[in-house]
C-alpha cells in the first residue's frame, strides 16, 4: 500500500502565476482534505472533497480551488499566487466522510518569489 | 471556531526523560488527534481520542473532556522521538470527517 502520495515535492513559482498540486489518497479511501502549513505554524484546513464535490471549506479565498476525480485523487489549484501562499501543502485522506482518522501525505513545498 | 493551544512550544530534554506535551481547546469536540511531524513535513497520526486514555509503545495519550484538555506523554524518551508534535481537534457533535483545527505544535528535541 503506497499510502497518500503528493506531487510535486517542491515547487517554485512567481507571484501572479497559477499552480496545481496533486494528491492520490491511500488505497480504499474516498475523502481527501487539503491543508496549508506556513513555516512555524500548525496546518490550516483549506477544503475537503468527497464524491467529487467540495464538502466543506475553511477560511480561504476563492483563489484556492480544487477538484476530485472519479478515482478519488484530487487537485488543489491556486490562482494569482501571493508571496504569502508560500507554505507546505498537505493532503490527507480518509475512508468516507464519516471516518475522522486521516492519513497524511508528505506534502508539497511551494515557494512563491 | 475552536482555538487549540499547545504547551510548551519548545522542549529540549535528555534521553530517558519522561516527556509531557499539553493541549487545550476552547469548545466541545468529537475527536482529538495527536500527530507527529518530522523535518521535511511528513505527518504521522499517532492517536485519535474521544475519551479516556490510549497507549502505543512508549506513547500515552489522555483526554479530559470536561476540562477540554489532552496530554501526550513519552516515556523513556529517545533522540528519534525528536519531532514536532501537533494536537488537532474535530469540532461538532459527530458524523462527518470535518476539517481539523490544529495547534501550532510543540518542537521536541531529545539530546543523547
**Which residues of A lie closer than 8 Å to B, measured between beta carbons?**
31, 33, 35, 37, 40-48, 55-56, 58, 88, 90, 92, 94, 96-104, 106-107, 109
Shortest Cα–Cα distance, A80 to chain B (Å): 25
| Cα B62–Cα B22–Cα B110 angle in degrees, nearest 5 | 105
**Beta bridge partners of residue B92, listed in sequence order:** none
Q: Has residue A98 got a pLDDT over 80?
A: no
Question: Across A90-94, B38-42, B99-103, which has the greatest mean pLDDT?
Answer: A90-94
Shortest Cα–Cα distance, B31 to chain A (Å): 8
Task: Check residues B27 and A79 and name the one with the higher pLDDT.
Answer: A79
Average confidence (pLDDT) over B18-35:
92
Judge contact between A74 and A66, C-beta under 8 A: yes
Whole-angstrom distance, CA of residue A103 vs CA of residue A55: 18
Task: Give me A44's grid cell.
Answer: 490550516
**Beta bridge partners of residue B19, listed in sequence order:** B74
Whole-angstrom distance, CA of residue B23 vs CA of residue B74: 15
pLDDT band at B95 (very low <50, low <70, confident <90, very high): very low
Task: Check residues A64 and A100 and name the one with the higher pLDDT.
Answer: A64
| Cα B45–Cα B51–Cα B52 angle in degrees, nearest 5 | 95
DSSP letter (8 states) at residue A68? E
Average confidence (pLDDT) over B80-104:
78
Whole-angstrom distance, CA of residue A17 vs CA of residue B83: 33
Closest CA to B91 of B8, B10, B15, B33: B33
Q: For cell 526523560, name the residue.
A: B17
Q: Is B4's CB within 8 Å of A37's CB?
A: no
Residues in chain B: 112
Sequence-separated contacts (24+) of A69-72 with Cβ below 8 Å = A72/A25, A72/A29, A72/A30, A72/A32
Residues in chain A: 113
Whole-angstrom distance, CA of residue A64 vs CA of residue A47: 9
**Beta bridge partners of residue B60, listed in sequence order:** B55, B73
Closest CA to A106 of B48, B46, B39, B99: B39
Q: Is B46 on the interface with A (CB under 8 A)?
A: no
Locate the chain A residue with the closest alpha carbon to B40.
Answer: A106
pLDDT band at B92 (very low <50, low <70, confident <90, very high): low
Amino acid at each position: 500500500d503506497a499510502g497518500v502520495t503528493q506531487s510535486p515535492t517542491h515547487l517554485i513559482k512567481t507571484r501572479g502565476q497559477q499552480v496545481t498540486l496533486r494528491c492520490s489518497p491511500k488505497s480504499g479511501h474516498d475523502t481527501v482534505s487539503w491543508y496549508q502549513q506556513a513555516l512555524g505554524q500548525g496546518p490550516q484546513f483549506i477544503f475537503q472533497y468527497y464524491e467529487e464535490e467540495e464538502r466543506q471549506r475553511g477560511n480561504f479565498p476563492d483563489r484556492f480551488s480544487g477538484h476530485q476525480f472519479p478515482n478519488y485523487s484530487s487537485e488543489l489549484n491556486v490562482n494569482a499566487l501571493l508571496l504569502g501562499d508560500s507554505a507546505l501543502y498537505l493532503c490527507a485522506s480518509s475512508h468516507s466522510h464519516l471516518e475522522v482518522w486521516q492519513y497524511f501525505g508528505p506534502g508539497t513545498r511551494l515557494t512563491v518569489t | 471556531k475552536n482555538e487549540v493551544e499547545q504547551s510548551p512550544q519548545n522542549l529540549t530534554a535528555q534521553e530517558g526523560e519522561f516527556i509531557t506535551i499539553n493541549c487545550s481547546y476552547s469548545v466541545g469536540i468529537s475527536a482529538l488527534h495527536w500527530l507527529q511531524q518530522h523535518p521535511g513535513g511528513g505527518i504521522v497520526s499517532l492517536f485519535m481520542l474521544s475519551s479516556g486514555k490510549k497507549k502505543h509503545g512508549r506513547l500515552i495519550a489522555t483526554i479530559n473532556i470536561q476540562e477540554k484538555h489532552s496530554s501526550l506523554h513519552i516515556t523513556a524518551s529517545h533522540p528519534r522521538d525528536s519531532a514536532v508534535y501537533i494536537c488537532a481537534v474535530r469540532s461538532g457533535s459527530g458524523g462527518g470527517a470535518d476539517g481539523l483545527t490544529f495547534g501550532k505544535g510543540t518542537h521536541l528535541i531529545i539530546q543523547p
